[in-house]
Amino acid sequence: MKAEDKRPVVKLSCAAPAAEFTQITLSHGSGGTQMRQLLQQYVFECLNNDWLQKQEDAAILQVEGPFAFSTDTFVVSPLFFPGGDIGDLAVNGTINDLAVSGALPQYLSLAFILEEGFSSASFLRILQSIRRCCAAAGAAIVTGDTKVLERGKGDGIFINTSGIGRLRVGVQLGVSFLKDNDCLLVSGPLARHGIAVMSRRKGIGFETSIQSDTQPLHEICGMLSDALGTDLHLMRDATRGGVGTILHEITSQSRFSAEIEESALPVEQEVAGACEMLGLDPLFVANEGVFVAAVAAHKATEALALLRSHRFGQQAALIGRLRSDLRAPVVLNSTIGGRRVLPPMRGELLPRIC
């Protein structure tokens, strides 16, 4: 795995294979020769490593505990969007779930549900993204699965990844470690992924240069936990539902409320404009490379400086703190000096009429 990972991206070995098929068919999931062809020419060629080479029913791993284990399924539409594709999400999503748990991501599983008729060129493009993201995170795909559904029963491709990783030494993360007055930080600007995807969605499409923020957080999370030790109390990956949903999760699982300063929320101007136009609150729009951290108040300045020193944390911000004297779960002090409850998101994000 290691030798493969170090290969520069420009020398990807998975160039388009001999064009024996251009579309996925049901036989690619049947277990027969076409399936072997798909695995050999595409999956193994792209993600080649010792575990996959052996083609056993399970990968045998040497894992020292304690380790974190996480799984996630990806159904994004469109599959390709500004700044990434479903392959990036599938790897970074699981990497980030492990990273915010204080683990160093090591081994991933990868399962595809493909729809009959899905283009093999798109499949290859997605595999290349998966390969690139695994290399960037230093993790290997060690086992996997492929199924093919009849046309009309899928949306091109669905991906599931699971991952395990060894927990970093000295990490103590979780809602039970939260303390009154803990500072809440976000590692980057909000809502970029959700808006990038929406900008390409059929029926909504609009012109924008906004790119998804899909990126691996293992390095920046590791840096923060190494420096802060037990003064880092919690990290959460702010994906679906955005930072606002994470704040509600944290407060519903603990005895604390969160007090947030609207003026401190990092939102890029173009993202803010798009949210305004679509009638969405950037606090509740998805990210794919932003996490929320709760740190001991006396370490907040240090934590912020650390985050900002990392390339994925340059726009990190201190957005508020935990409090035990509020009755509402999340209270927001508005930019103009007002104060209100931040309600949890309900149902699907739907654009407003006016």
Partner 1 sequence: MKHLTEYRDARLVKRLLERLRKTVSKKWHIMEVCGGQTHGLVRHGILDMLPPEISMIHGPGCPVCVTPVSHIDTAVSLALDHNVILCSFGDMLRVPGSSGSLLQARAQGADVRVVYAPYEAVQLAQQQPDREVVFFAVGFETTAPANALSVLQAHQLGLKNYSLLTAHVLVPPAMTAIMSDPETRVNAFLAAGHVCAVTGMQVYEPFVKRWQVPVVVTGFEPVDLLQGICTAAELLESSRAELVNQYRRAVHPEGNPFAIKTADAVFEKSLREWRGIGEIPESGLRLRSVWSAFDAFQKFGINPELPAASTAAQQQQCRSGEVMKGLIKPAQCQYFGTGCTPETPLGAPMVSSEGACAAYYQYVGGWHHES
Angle formed by the axes of helices 86-100 and 218-228, nearest 10°: 10
| Least CB distance to partner 1 at residue 274 (A) | 9
Report the C-alpha gap between 155 and 272 in whole angstroms: 30
Nearer to partner 1, 180 or 276 (CB): 276
Give residue 22's identity as a one-letter amino acid code.
T
CA proximity to 133, closest of 101, 78, 165, 96 = 96
75 binds partner 1 (CB under 8 A): no
The residue range among 2-10, 230-238, 308-316, 328-336 that interacts with partner 1, by the rule CB under 8 A, is 328-336
CB 280 within 8 A of CB 271: no
Dist. CA 64–CA 265, nearest whole Å: 39
**Burial of 268 per CB tally in 10 Å (0-12, 13-18, 19+):** middle
Contact between 311 and partner 1 (CB under 8 A)? no
Residue with Cβ nearer partner 1 (153 or 340)? 340
Q: Cis link prior to 344 (omega < 30° from 0)?
A: no
Number of residues interacting with partner 1: please give it, by CB under 8 A: 31
> According to the binding rule CB under 8 A, does residue 351 interact with partner 1?
yes
Query: Which of these, 321, 285, 301, lies nearest to 199 by C-alpha position?
Result: 285
Among 276, 305, 309, 314, binds partner 1 (CB under 8 A): 276
Site string for partner 1, 200-239 (x = CB under 8 A): ---xx-----------------------------------
Minimum CB–partner distance for residue 332 and partner 1 (Å)? 8
Q: Which of 3, 10, 60, 354 contacts partner 1 by CB under 8 A?
A: 354
Taking the complex as a whole, the smallest distance from the CB of residue 108 to partner 1 amounts, in Å, to 32
Query: Contacting partner 1 (CB under 8 A), which of 7, 36, 54, 339?
Result: 339
